[in-house]
Chains A and B, each alone.
Chain A
């Protein structure tokens, strides 16, 4: 039983949250075999795939047995995850990569609408991967959090190299979904955490997920990246090298998560979770004073992280965060 599934529909164990919105999709998920190519049923197929992906991740990482877990079960779940990731990758490679020469008028606004897919399973209307690309060219500049983790704050060269990398947007999705799934878990555990904390642990969990799970992180690496490393947003220019990644505004959600990822936040509450306890990745990063970051993010911490509220951030605030992260 999913521990956070408290709704009566928990019997069907369709996914996290057990929120009523899921009832509408029960049939689509449980009923017929949905082919990825049908029109309207593509939504339910994607949703089903997403749910199964999340469940699979949960099974692999949220389980602390006293005895050795069954290798057969682990292998089957791994295969499931790999298959879904392959599908996502293939879908991503089929999509044209959009290139923009000019900066959208409100990059933040656009990007935050697009950032919502991370929480799409909570939203009433599931977003198709297609939506991500067609509506937000900036998506193409996104670098998965794992990459940020690995390269961003280690060497600026690496970052510069990878910064303007365009990645197939669906490659982002698994990361976001691990974020969102971990986020849900946190939400359930602690109904009203500060958004900073919740997001931190979620990021940590997801980052560790992507680290622990080799195939997952391999998808997130920029393999098969489309050549067109074009139009970086104008706002990249005045900023230092490794800022390139972070200025692609579609990232800001992730950026924020990563900010907090490196902070020294007390996660003892979540220590029982094997994912959050492995803070190896975070600890490698440049230490940032927790207070500083928290101060920076204080205006935002009052906002709960929900899909419907755009997580707006000023560019100046962004500058400040970057100074803190890079400067120290």
Chain B
């Protein structure tokens, strides 16, 4: 049984739809996908990679001739968003890897998105051009200037259709505001401002102003040697433009109200779950570090992802989460190894479905997990080329913990920790999900009846 969407009685069967990216065994580091995001309508799907590129896919119109191909996503635009830079002061490279992409709501024909690397946020305009003017007076069709003395008649240029061209232009560059690495950006519901968060500070920007930003959170201690906690993620409330949350490496979430003061160092609400003494280990703090925080679409709940679990918090209850879901608890006994090989620092993201009834997050071995909040059922699916026949139904996977391994189960020791699914996205209104597996982007849809 697989988590459903909306109607409890109807279970969803997830099917393979498409996969983007090469099948090469050797993966170029630059092709590793580092962020995935649907726009507000779901028509566009953007990915960013370690090489600083953004690829936007557009869903094709559903056609009556081919009802099977329910709106496939095809490449719409590709552009180089960020280039590698060098910090001469510290003698260190600044990676061009795209950490986050966030779409702005669409008001006209053009779309806007924010993309960020460790240091700089950019606002990109993606627009279509399918007509071009012809018949200039002062220049040829080739663009060469004509001699004005040779012109005897005047004509009015006309627009003629041309092949569709999608161009991406950087409209704003928001730079030099972050000493530390940017981990999150979030567009405010007023659509006039947005915030960018790094390890120690959160800045508020106006889209129109690039040379100034307001610092709204600063947790840098006077003496850096006393630093024990960093900001790991931040997001604006979907409806209340004065409210935002940020999470920390100690497993806490703070909700802040910008109306209270200019510098929101004092939280309005503080969410923390008391530590379970029976589960305490050397790694308790590290695995409690929150890697992602997401408001529900309704704005009533906040979901957080730490190393082993996903938690759903009610904004009205600060002392413990409302729901806790185990993603891969079988890793609890492997924490020492995972600490040694750095996997324990992997930052998994989490997403809500459109109706906030199902949540999804990634794991290792190209597995990803979905939890139905209503039925309390969960499923583990795999993004792999083997399951990539058109419209093939994904088979649930199971990790075997104990001694006896059943057929089709995989044992914990056989998991491939280099195949991690950190980034996933869910269409805002339909059962379409995008799962980034290293350099491949998988798109799954629910079964068409």
Contact of A31 with B333 at beta-carbon distance under 8 Å, contacts A14-B340, A52-B339 already known? yes
Q: Taking the nearest CB of chain B, how far is it from the CB of A13, in angstroms?
A: 3
Q: Taking the nearest CB of chain B, how far is it from the CB of A111, in angstroms?
A: 31
- Contact between chains at B286 and A48 (CB < 8 Å): no
0/1 interface trace, chain B 200-234, chain A, CB 8 Å (1 if under): 10000000000000000000000001011110100
Contact of A70 with B181 at beta-carbon distance under 8 Å, contacts A75-B227, A75-B249 already known? yes
Which residues 88-144 of B have a CB within 8 angstroms of A?
90, 92-95, 118
Which residues 136-191 of A have a CB within 8 angstroms of B?
none
State whether the Cβ of B191 lies closer than 8 Å to any Cβ in chain A.
no
0/1 interface trace, chain A 1-33, chain B, CB 8 Å (1 if under): 110000000011110000000000000011111
State whether the Cβ of A68 lies closer than 8 Å to any Cβ in chain B.
yes
For residue B228, which residues in chain A have a CB less than 8 angstroms away from its CB? 75, 78-79
Complex CA distance for A313 and B336, rounded to whole angstroms:
39
State whether the Cβ of A296 lies closer than 8 Å to any Cβ in chain B.
no
- Contact between chains at A68 and B333 (CB < 8 Å): no
Other contacts beyond A14-B336, A32-B333, A33-B280: 18, CB < 8 A: A13-B336, A29-B336, A30-B333, A30-B336, A33-B278, A48-B282, A52-B282, A55-B339, A67-B95, A67-B118, A68-B87, A68-B118, A70-B345, A72-B199, A73-B342, A79-B285, A80-B282, A214-B225
State whether the Cβ of A267 lies closer than 8 Å to any Cβ in chain B.
no
**Total A-B pairs in contact (CB under 8 Å)?**
84
Complex CA distance for A14 and B125, rounded to whole angstroms:
50
Closest to B229 in A: A75
Q: Quick one: which of A13, A51, A71, A84 contacts B181, CB cutoff 8 A?
A: A71
State whether the Cβ of B289 lies closer than 8 Å to any Cβ in chain A.
yes
State whether the Cβ of A49 lies closer than 8 Å to any Cβ in chain B.
yes
Closest to A27 in B: B333
Closest to A1 in B: B341
State whether the Cβ of B281 lies closer than 8 Å to any Cβ in chain A.
yes
Q: Taking the nearest CB of chain A, how far is it from the CB of B18, in angstroms?
A: 33
For residue B249, which residues in chain A have a CB less than 8 angstroms away from its CB? 72, 75-76
- Contact between chains at B340 and A67 (CB < 8 Å): no
Q: Taking the nearest CB of chain A, how far is it from the CB of B368, in angstroms?
A: 23
Complex CA distance for A70 and B97, rounded to whole angstroms:
14
For residue B339, which residues in chain A have a CB less than 8 angstroms away from its CB? 52, 55
- Contact between chains at A66 and B92 (CB < 8 Å): yes
For residue A215, which residues in chain B have a CB less than 8 angstroms away from its CB? 225
Q: Taking the nearest CB of chain A, how far is it from the CB of B338, in angstroms?
A: 9
State whether the Cβ of B319 lies closer than 8 Å to any Cβ in chain A.
no
Complex CA distance for A183 and B232, rounded to whole angstroms:
36
Q: Quick one: which of A2, A52, A66 contacts B93, CB cutoff 8 A?
A: A66
Q: Quick one: which of A1, A30, A73, A78 contacts B345, CB cutoff 8 A?
A: A73
- Contact between chains at B225 and A30 (CB < 8 Å): no
For residue B90, which residues in chain A have a CB less than 8 angstroms away from its CB? 68
- Contact between chains at A55 and B340 (CB < 8 Å): yes
Complex CA distance for A214 and B341, rounded to whole angstroms:
25
- Contact between chains at B337 and A11 (CB < 8 Å): yes
- Contact between chains at B199 and A33 (CB < 8 Å): no
For residue B340, which residues in chain A have a CB less than 8 angstroms away from its CB? 2, 13-14, 55
- Contact between chains at A13 and B289 (CB < 8 Å): no
Interface residues of B (CB under 8 A from A): 87, 90, 92-95, 118, 180-181, 199-200, 225, 227-230, 232, 249, 278-282, 285-286, 289, 333-334, 336-337, 339-342, 345
Complex CA distance for A78 and B279, rounded to whole angstroms:
21
For residue B118, which residues in chain A have a CB less than 8 angstroms away from its CB? 67-68
Complex CA distance for A84 and B281, rounded to whole angstroms:
12
Complex CA distance for A320 and B274, rounded to whole angstroms:
59
A-B contact pairs, 19 of them (CB 8 A): A13-B341, A14-B340, A30-B337, A33-B279, A33-B281, A48-B336, A65-B92, A66-B92, A66-B93, A67-B92, A67-B95, A68-B87, A68-B92, A68-B118, A71-B230, A72-B199, A75-B227, A76-B286, A215-B225
For residue A71, which residues in chain B have a CB less than 8 angstroms away from its CB? 180-181, 199-200, 230
Q: Taking the nearest CB of chain A, how far is it from the CB of B330, in angstroms?
A: 12
Q: Quick one: which of A52, A66, A73, A83 contacts B336, CB cutoff 8 A?
A: A52
Closest to B230 in A: A72
Closest to B289 in A: A76
Contact of A51 with B229 at beta-carbon distance under 8 Å, contacts A76-B286, A80-B286 already known? no
Complex CA distance for A29 and B200, rounded to whole angstroms:
34
For residue A75, which residues in chain B have a CB less than 8 angstroms away from its CB? 227-230, 249
Complex CA distance for A65 and B342, rounded to whole angstroms:
14
Complex CA distance for A51 and B337, rounded to whole angstroms:
11
Q: Taking the nearest CB of chain A, how far is it from the CB of B181, in angstroms?
A: 7
Complex CA distance for A104 and B10, rounded to whole angstroms:
82
For residue A31, which residues in chain B have a CB less than 8 angstroms away from its CB? 333
Complex CA distance for A67 and B334, rounded to whole angstroms:
29
Q: Taking the nearest CB of chain B, how far is it from the CB of A86, in angstroms?
A: 12
Contact of A76 with B345 at beta-carbon distance under 8 Å, contacts A68-B90, A68-B181 already known? yes
Complex CA distance for A32 and B92, rounded to whole angstroms:
41
Closest 5 CB pairs of A and B: A13-B340, A71-B199, A67-B93, A13-B337, A72-B230
Q: Taking the nearest CB of chain A, how far is it from the CB of B443, in angstroms?
A: 30
Q: Taking the nearest CB of chain A, how far is it from the CB of B219, in angstroms?
A: 11
Which residues 52-111 of A have a CB within 8 angstroms of B?
52, 55, 59, 65-68, 70-73, 75-76, 78-80, 83-84
Complex CA distance for A51 and B283, rounded to whole angstroms:
13
Contact of A72 with B232 at beta-carbon distance under 8 Å, contacts A48-B336, A52-B336 already known? yes
For residue A80, which residues in chain B have a CB less than 8 angstroms away from its CB? 282, 285-286
Q: Taking the nearest CB of chain A, how far is it from the CB of B240, in angstroms?
A: 28
Q: Taking the nearest CB of chain A, how far is it from the CB of B92, in angstroms?
A: 5
For residue B230, which residues in chain A have a CB less than 8 angstroms away from its CB? 71-72, 75
- Contact between chains at B282 and A49 (CB < 8 Å): yes
For residue B181, which residues in chain A have a CB less than 8 angstroms away from its CB? 68, 70-71
Complex CA distance for A1 and B282, rounded to whole angstroms:
20
For residue B229, which residues in chain A have a CB less than 8 angstroms away from its CB? 75
For residue B336, which residues in chain A have a CB less than 8 angstroms away from its CB? 12-14, 29-30, 48, 51-52
Complex CA distance for A64 and B319, rounded to whole angstroms:
41
Closest to B91 in A: A66
Q: Taking the nearest CB of chain B, how far is it from the CB of A88, in angstroms?
A: 13
For residue A76, which residues in chain B have a CB less than 8 angstroms away from its CB? 249, 285-286, 289, 345
Q: Taking the nearest CB of chain A, how far is it from the CB of B29, in angstroms?
A: 12
For residue A68, which residues in chain B have a CB less than 8 angstroms away from its CB? 87, 90, 92, 94, 118, 181
For residue A84, which residues in chain B have a CB less than 8 angstroms away from its CB? 282
For residue A59, which residues in chain B have a CB less than 8 angstroms away from its CB? 342
Which residues 215-237 of A have a CB within 8 angstroms of B?
215
Q: Taking the nearest CB of chain B, how far is it from the CB of A65, in angstroms?
A: 8
Closest to B281 in A: A33
Closest to A218 in B: B225
Complex CA distance for A153 and B410, rounded to whole angstroms:
61
Closest to A11 in B: B337
Q: Taking the nearest CB of chain A, how far is it from the CB of B269, in angstroms?
A: 23
For residue A83, which residues in chain B have a CB less than 8 angstroms away from its CB? 282, 285
Q: Taking the nearest CB of chain B, how far is it from the CB of A82, in angstroms?
A: 8
For residue A1, which residues in chain B have a CB less than 8 angstroms away from its CB? 341
